[in-house]
Amino acid sequence: MSEDTGQKQLLHLVFGGELKSLGSHEFRDLEALDIVGVFPNYETAHAAWKSKAQSSVDNAHMRYYVVHLHRLLDPQSVAKG
C-alpha cells in the first residue's frame, strides 16, 4: 500500500544487465535482465540505480539504467517542460 505524500507521481523504472560490448546498449541476455523495480519519483529511482551500479562495479559490462516512464505515459508533459 502506498502513502499519499501530496507529490505528483512520476514513475521511473530501474533495470540493468550485462552488455554485449562496452560501446553499445545491447544486452548479452535479455532473459537475464535485472528488473530492479518501478519507483514513484526520480530520487528513489536514482538511489536504487546507484546501489545496483555500485554493487556491480567489478563487472565492466554490467550497466543499470533509469527510464522515465512518466514521459512515455504522457508524452505531452515532455513538451510542456
Output the pLDDT for position 50: 98
Query: Which domains does the chain possess?
Result: 12-80 (3.30.70.2400)
Helix intervals (H) in 15-68: 42-55
Entry pTM: 0.81
The C-alpha atoms of residue 10 and residue 72 are separated, in whole angstroms, by 11
The predicted-structure confidence for 25-71, as pLDDT tens digits, reads as follows: 999 999 999 999 999 999 999 999 999 999 999 999 999 999 999 98
